Every structure is written in C-alpha cells, then in structure tokens.
Amino acid sequence: MEDVSAKFVSQKISRTRWRPLPAAALQPPDLFATGSWDNEDNRVSIWSAGDLGNAGLNGEYHGEPHLLCDIQHNGDVMDMQFLDQERIVVASSTGTVTIFRHHQNNQTLSANHRWEKAHYHVDQDTSCGGAACTGVVCNNPEIVTVGEDGRINLFRADQRDTVRTIDNADSSTLHAVTFLRTTEILTVNSIGQLKIWDLRQQRNEPSQIFSLAGDRVPLHCVDRHPNQQHIVATGGQDGMLSIWDIRQGTMPVSLLNAHEAEMWEVHFHPSDPDHLFTCSEDGSLWHWDTSTNVSEKPSFLHQGGRSTAYLSHSTINQSVVSAWLSNDPTKDRMEITNLIPNQTLSVNSLDVLGPCLVYGTDAEAIYVNRQLFA
C-alpha cells in the first residue's frame, strides 16, 4: 500500500508548512504552503493536498498535490509560518520579512505587509546590506524573527513598525527560533548554544544560556514539546538529535545519533508528541517513536525497507513524564524509522499535522504522506 504522493515542481523546496486547522476541525489537513530556494525565480505556493474524497478500496488516497496559487518571492525562502488560516509569514535571504495573504475566494496570493531589511549587516540603507532572516515564529498577532546578523525582531501583524529589536542578541548567526511560552522565546545559534529570552524584560540579555559541551557544533533547528514546555529538541550540523530539559542543567539530557549530515528541521507531532520527526541534508527523514510498547505494534510505515533501531530511555516520574527524558533501558524503547530510505538529495523541510506529513527536497519535489499512523 503506497500512501505517499509525490509532485515534481521544478524548484528546490526549502520549506513546507500545513495550514493550521480550525480548532474544532475533525478532517485531516487539506492545504499546505511551500517556499523555494536557489532558483532564479523563487516562489511561495499554496497547494491542495490532493483528493481526500477519493479513497480507494483499502482506504488509501489517490491524487497528487495540486497547485492552487503562487507568487514570486525576492530571495531564497529561509523560513515560513502560518499566522492564521489566511496569512503566511515568510523570511527571506535578503533580510526582508513578508506577510502573504491567501485569498481563498479566487485562489490568489498577495503581499499583505512587508518589513524591508528587518535583518541587515551594516545599516538598513545600503543596497547590499541585507542579512538573511533565518527563522520566524508566530503567535498571532506576534511575529518573532532571527537572522544571520544576530538580531531578534518582534513584530505585530497589525503594526507597521517593529515592536522591539534586540540588536546584538548574538555575536553569531541565529538559525532558528520558537516560542517557549507567550512571553518567552528560544533561539539556537551557530556555536551550539540555546538561549531563552524573556520578552517582558527590557534588558537585551538572555535569561538562560544552554550549550552543547565542547565542540560548538552549529544548531540549525529547534522545537519544543507541545504539552511539556520544558522539553526541547534541537538538531544541527553533526546530524545529532539533542533533547534538553530546560529546568535543569545547561547541557542536553540526551544526545542521540541520528543523521549523517546536517539536520535541517525537527518537529514534535503537535497532538501526539511521543512522535518526533527530523530531516537532513543526507536525504533521510526519520520518525522517532517513544510511545510505549513499540515492539508490539505493527509497522505503520510502508515505504520500502524499515531501518529500525532501538534506543533505550527511561522515565523519571511515570505519571507526568515524557519518554523523551530518559536513560533506563528496562522501561521502554524508542523505535526509529527512516521514511525515505532511497532519497539522495537533501530533505530541507517537513511538517506534520494529524495523520499527515508533508516534506520538500532539493530533488525539486514535494511529498505528502496522508496515513502516517495507518
């Protein structure tokens, strides 16, 4: 049974994002956005995930993703996040941050608002002074961006001017950002540090700094556990998955051998965070499953060879703990599956929502898996 549909798009895809579902929605996600990079003409595109009403005899879906609308984007798309059902915030390699609006009545995209050169190296006015905006995260109406210039910007979707800028937040490149709570953000940088910033504080210093021991491996991506906000996952240049407990210590609680090259994105499943997904420059996309008794569960990934490794981990307080904070092999195990064993070019981005996974590659293709847990 083949649940993955592919679409060749003649562009290298740097970001893929599901449109969030309305709070009470029961249906699977239906629309996603992509951004491209390293093309002469980069684009932001909105796709329909395919014909969900067209299930076959075995419940598998047919129909590849199809393009609803797209718009030209100046520079590489470095990151993108949906702000709400209609608006997408896009970070550019030129340093500009743009909000695009998806008009569903006539399937068009338009630039809703733009902060020119939100990130810059010398000053905002020189023609070549832009610094790449590397990461964006939204908590409507707030938008936080980070960049190559070590700067953190706080915007509001309804305000033209920047709400706040922390100019010298970091002396190295900031690669990614996520909200820890509504008033706190986490950033990762190119010297292996994870920093917490309290946006209520006026001082421009992080409230906490964590770091990988010793070798200062650049961190490229970060995500926090959706229910237990002290649990954070990061990935970086060495392909390792690091799990942090930000309540204790300044180093990761576990380092897990993962990919053979840079890890570009890490995402906890938003509603089932025992599952985590990572993708890499080495062309792999891994599903990490820490739900209990994995050994008794059937394989739910039919993508050719399953490369399954068992990693041990423990639990601290069984009632509240997540399996992610752990190291006692007797309690339970972690199952890891490479969802795309034969891919060769970089998998740059993934997003997961409900039973659906979308990912994009340097092979100029996007892929949708609609039955992750079949």
State the pLDDT confidence band at 320, using cuts at 50, 70 and 90.
very low
Given a cut of 90, whether residue 314 has pLDDT beyond it is no
State the pLDDT confidence band at 213, using cuts at 50, 70 and 90.
confident
CB atoms within 10 A of CB 66: 11
Ordered structural domains, the chain, with CATH: 4-53+61-292+323-369 (2.130.10.10)
Higher pLDDT, 14 or 291: 14
Predicted pLDDT at 203: 86
Q: What is the mean pLDDT of residues 23-45?
A: 92
pLDDT mean across residues, the chain: 86
Given a cut of 90, whether residue 319 has pLDDT beyond it is no
Give the Cα separation of 110 and 250 in Å (integer): 44
Predicted pLDDT at 307: 37
Q: What is the pTM of this model?
A: 0.88
For residue 154, the cross-strand partners are: 144, 164
∠ CA 148-98-134 to the nearest 5 degrees? 20
Residue 227 token pair:
């229910």
Higher pLDDT, 1 or 201: 201
Given a cut of 50, whether residue 328 has pLDDT beyond it is no
Predicted pLDDT at 31: 95
Is the omega angle on the peptide bond into residue 141 within 30 degrees of 0, that is, cis?
Answer: yes
pLDDT digit string (tens) for 79-125?
999 999 999 999 999 999 999 999 999 999 999 999 999 999 876 66
3-state secondary structure labels for all residues of the chain: CCCEEEEECCCCEEEEEECCCCCCCCCCCCEEEEEECCCCCEEEEEEECCEEEEECCCCCEECCCEEEEEEEECCCEEEEEECCCCEEEEEECCCCEEEEEEECCCCEEEEEEEECCCCECCCCCCCCCECCEEEEEEECCEEEEEECCCCEEEEECCCCCCCEEECCCCCCCEEEEEEEECCEEEEEECCCEEEEEECCCCCCCCCEEEECCCCCCCEEEEEECCCCCCEEEEEECCCCEEEEECCCCCCCCEEECCCCCCEEEEEECCCCCCEEEEEECCCCEEEEECCCCHHHCCCCCCCCCCCCEEEEECCCCCCCCCCCCCCCCCCEEEEEEECCCCCCCCEEEEEEECCEEEEEECCCEEEEECCCCC
∠ CA 336-337-338 to the nearest 5 degrees? 130
Higher pLDDT, 304 or 156: 156
pLDDT digit string (tens) for 236-258?
999 999 999 999 888 998 889 99
Give the Cα separation of 150 and 169 in Å (integer): 6
Given a cut of 80, whether residue 298 has pLDDT beyond it is no
State the pLDDT confidence band at 216, using cuts at 50, 70 and 90.
confident
State the pLDDT confidence band at 23, using cuts at 50, 70 and 90.
confident
In the chain, the percentage of residues whose pLDDT exceeds 70 is 84
State the pLDDT confidence band at 52, using cuts at 50, 70 and 90.
low
Predicted pLDDT at 215: 75
pLDDT digit string (tens) for 124-156?
666 567 899 999 999 999 999 999 999 999 999
Given a cut of 90, whether residue 186 has pLDDT beyond it is yes
**Integer Rg of the chain from CA:** 20
Q: Which amino acid is at 81?
A: Q
Predicted pLDDT at 373: 83
